Structure 1
Amino acid sequence: MKSFFSRIKNAWPDTLFGRLVLIWLLTFLIGHVLEIGASYTTVLNYQTTKSEYYLSKDIALLVPALEHAQPSERALWLQRMERQDYRYELGAGAAANTIQLTSTRAKEISAALSLALDSRYLISVTAPNTPKELMVLHLPLSDGTPLTIHLNKIALKMPWWGGAIFATQILFLIILTWYALRQAMRPLLRLAEASEALGSSLQCEPIIESGPSEVARAAVAFNAMQRRITEHLAERVHILASISHDLQTPITRMRLRADLLDNGVDNGALRDKLHGDLNAMQVLVEEGIAYARSAHSVNEVPCRVDIDALLDSLTCDYLDDGQQIGLQGKANRVITTRPHALRRIVSNLVDNALKFAEQVEISVMLHTPNLLNISVQDRGPGIPATELDAVLKPFYRLEASRNRSSGGTGLGLAIAQQLSIALGGTLSLSNRDGGGLQATISLPC
């Protein structure tokens, strides 16, 4: 029983459109089958009653005719009175089956024939001789000749045009159901697409507030939620930008005061420490602003980009800067994306890898015809498997080799993660065999 229900569950459509169509069609088919069954039963009962009525009338005419007819004329009478629902037979060999029937219908037919004939005729009912027969009735004539009545099963023939009408109904039902559900589901599809866009870039166009009242209310609520999210994120960026702007002045004053210190041994060391702290504060503020902007949205207009050319240009920039970086693979694909955001993602991953390894390698390949993978690989210390997801969170630093002493603010991977989501892709981290880390960006083509 469990396997039966599990098979039904597996065959159940995943989409709301498919489920509604299936439920609608099953309801129609079950109702139509029940209606056909009821009609068939009604017609069959009517045909049975009519057959029994005419049998009683025919027997009332046939038996007296056979009593007065010559033996040579009896066969002619039997042929004349034969019907589609029953036939007659004379002779002792007619009763091949002697099992008596005592069913309600057998008793009703026997009583009806007895009522149509003289009471001196004793009627018995036996089981059928062939599958086409319903029952066999026996009555002896006055000269002792047995008369056997083979009562056939009534078979109702369905006309061909009934099936054609049923098929036409199904066809029109499918067409009208598809059209009606398509009209009803279109606003929901728009809502789903807008939700995906909002989830990836936190920014999307307001959806049309039309359709059924429930869907229109959902659209109104979604647009209001989108406005609140946009306003909240814009306010966050404004606050961080204001903080960054306000911090510039005290940081600059502190640099000037550090420069005004005497050039003594102690003061020189103190000045270097102050400059190091001020530089760290400056980087932290700038990275915080960058993360806030990446979390808000990517305002860059998408355009068609040759991935191989973009990565080759990025690699050359690092080589010109004296970094050991390599590029493997070819995408041979032009995709629509935001090139500056993609460049920022790869740069963040490369910078993060260069902090822990002397040599970094970028590889690109088509994972599927519609999915592009860009990987940044290093041979550094790697990251514990339990920390691979956590390091993508903002301001998260490991206590081991990849910690604050290695530089950075803990925002590089978080910014890359946010920008990857904004581009409709994903960023995943994994440890390499033999040591090192691999960061993979998966982008739709």
Structure 2
Amino acid sequence: MSRSPASTASATSAAASAATSIKTRRFGPRTLFARVFWLMVVGIAIAQALAYVAIRQERSMALRALMMSGVERDIATGVAVLDRLPAAERADWLKRLERPNYRFALADELDPTAGPVERTDFNGPFVDALVQAMQPFRIERAVQLGVKRYQLLVRLNDGAAVTVHAQRVDMPIPEWVMWVLGAQLIVLAVCSWMVVRLVTRPLKTLASAADDLGPDLSPTLIPEEGPAEVAHAARAFNAMQQRIAGYTAERVEILAAISHDLQTPITRMRLRADLMNDEELRGKFHHDLHAMQVLVREGVTYARTLHGTSEVPARLDADALLASIVGDYQDAGEAVTLAGEAGTPIMAQPQALKRILVNLIDNALAFGGQAEIQVTRSGAGNPGGAQDPTHRLTIAVLDRGPGIPDDQLQAVFKPFHRLETSRNRDTGGTGLGLAIALQLATAMGGNLSLHNRTGGGLEARLTLPASLA
């Protein structure tokens, strides 16, 4: 059989895809669920923060308006009280007249480091109203100590000086408001999670169904329920699966019919060849007819493997199967050896597995003169026979033949691809052997790959899931 890798993705396209994925990689969550969820949560958090800022600003503006509307009268009243009191009693009344946003001091000096009051939207109207309310008292000087604090020097009727220390007091946000905002954020985050899950769950179901669509193309219908858009997508996906399965089945039936119809003319040609007197010519005819029969038969086999295999997986003793295959070759005088063991039974399709191994061994014998089979097992079985993704059985068929150019290791899996260009079916095969082997391995959930060996030769590596029965 010729060596041909069949694969839908070449090494060049794989490298291009990898480069594209690296180029388009972005920071942040990769899944749609995480992206939409965090987008909603961050958006809600920003909205809550803006609401909090708006509340503080509104309360600050309300307090500012309150101060500008009444505090000047309170300060003027306090100054009038101090003016009417005897000088000896004024100090005792300072504490009584003190308020959260202003206090009085008996002094005629202001803070020397302070600058003059800047007229702003806050203190401009307030200072004007204070000057008006202070009459007949006179404000000699006003200085600013900060954004919210300033001092006023007021002269009483007896000539004594009173310093007014005024400041803007922000109205604190009650603690319950923060708790309410936090509770709102939590509730909205939970609601966002539920909404995003409701939206993305059908997509996950759809992706799982697409992944489960194996080489046999057997439709796995997904529920056509949920919102109208989701149900429509599910119906379209189910219809697509059924159409693909129908097209493939029809193609297999057509090829099978062609193969069946070709048997009749091939048989007639064989009978007519038997009537030839020229033995050499008769032998050539028989040889060509045999090659034609093999090509037709393998073409149909390949088409059927594209649609999967009808063989039911069974609990299989891989060691016994390998020993039987190797024994048959050794009985025929072929140099085939076996090393290693699977150890435990596996779930596989016996005839499909045997066909893969026979094809690989035939190739090794044809191109290397000998074949060495090595069996290794990785991972450990789970209790009760549960499948472990890391639990793999590897069967390698090695030879010391000429090997395959590195740029052809994937191409030889393509149908009818032959490294031997003489078109001699005895030396080059039909070009379908490895293509069929790859399809059968994929249908069993395994992988088939080729690797050049150090020192010359080729290694055909079949990897299967070693799930227990």
Query: Structure 2 matches for 1:359-438, cutoff 5 A?
Result: 359-366=371-378, 370-371=389-390, 372=392, 373-399=394-420, 404-438=425-459
In structure 2, the residue matched to 1:82 is 98
Q: Structure 2: which 5+ residue stretches go unaligned?
A: 1-21, 381-387
Letter in 2 for 1:111: D
In structure 2, the residue matched to 1:126 is 143
Query: Structure 2 matches for 1:31-430, cutoff 5 A?
Result: 31-92=47-108, 94-104=110-120, 105-118=122-135, 120-122=137-139, 124-128=141-145, 134-142=148-156, 143-154=159-170, 156-159=172-175, 161-198=176-213, 200-262=215-277, 267-303=278-314, 305=316, 311=322, 314-329=325-340, 336-357=347-368, 358-366=370-378, 370-371=389-390, 372=392, 373-399=394-420, 404-430=425-451
Q: Distance in 2 between matches of 1:62 and 1:14?
A: 67
Q: Distance in 1 between matches of 2:398 and 2:353?
A: 17
Aligned-pair CA distance for 1:311: 4.6
Aligned residues of 1:110 and 1:124 also touching (Cα < 8 A): no
Q: Structure 1: which 5+ residue stretches go unaligned?
A: 1-5
TM-score in terms of structure 2 length: 0.81
Deviations 1:193-220 (A, max 9, x none): 2222225442232222222222222222
Compared with structure 1, are the counterparts of its residues 337 and 108 closer, same or farther at alpha carbon in structure 2 (3 Å cutoff)? farther
Aligned residues of 1:379 and 1:436 also touching (Cα < 8 A): yes
Could you tell which deviates more after superposition, 225-234 or 170-179?
Answer: 170-179
Letter in 2 for 1:437: L
Aligned residues of 1:202 and 1:297 also touching (Cα < 8 A): yes
Please give the secondary structure, in 2, of the residue aligned with 1:434: coil
Compared with structure 1, are the counterparts of its residues 144 and 424 closer, same or farther at alpha carbon in structure 2 (3 Å cutoff)? farther
Please give the secondary structure, in 2, of the residue aligned with 1:37: helix
Q: Distance in 1 between matches of 2:274 and 2:317?
A: 48
TM-score in terms of structure 1 length: 0.85
Q: Distance in 2 between matches of 1:151 and 1:341?
A: 91
Q: Distance in 1 between matches of 2:108 and 2:251?
A: 107
Q: Distance in 2 between matches of 1:315 and 1:127?
A: 102
Aligned residues of 2:115 and 2:143 also touching (Cα < 8 A): yes
**Larger helix percent:** 1
Compared with structure 1, are the counterparts of its residues 116 and 9 closer, same or farther at alpha carbon in structure 2 (3 Å cutoff)? farther
In structure 1, the residue matched to 2:15 is none
Deviations 1:168-209 (A, max 9, x none): 333333333333333333332222122222254422322222
Q: Distance in 2 between matches of 1:228 and 1:323?
A: 47
In structure 1, the residue matched to 2:385 is none
Deviations 1:83-110 (A, max 9, x none): 2233333324552432123141232321
Please give the secondary structure, in 2, of the residue aligned with 1:149: strand
* Root mean square deviation of aligned Cα: 3.1
What percentage of aligned pairs have identical amino acids? 42
Higher relative CO (CA 8 A, sep ≥ 6), structure 1 or 2? 2
Q: Distance in 1 between matches of 2:130 and 2:84?
A: 19
Aligned residues of 1:114 and 1:123 also touching (Cα < 8 A): no
Q: Distance in 2 between matches of 1:349 and 1:393?
A: 15
Q: Distance in 2 between matches of 1:242 and 1:114?
A: 110
From 28, 32, 36, the equivalent of 1:12 is 28
Q: Distance in 1 between matches of 2:205 and 2:116?
A: 73
Deviations 1:139-183 (A, max 9, x none): 222224241314155262440x44433343333333333333333
Q: Distance in 1 between matches of 2:139 and 2:160?
A: 12
Letter in 2 for 1:122: I
Aligned residues of 2:48 and 2:185 also touching (Cα < 8 A): no
In structure 2, the residue matched to 1:3 is none
Aligned residues of 1:381 and 1:401 also touching (Cα < 8 A): no
Please give the secondary structure, in 1, of the residue aligned with 2:163: strand
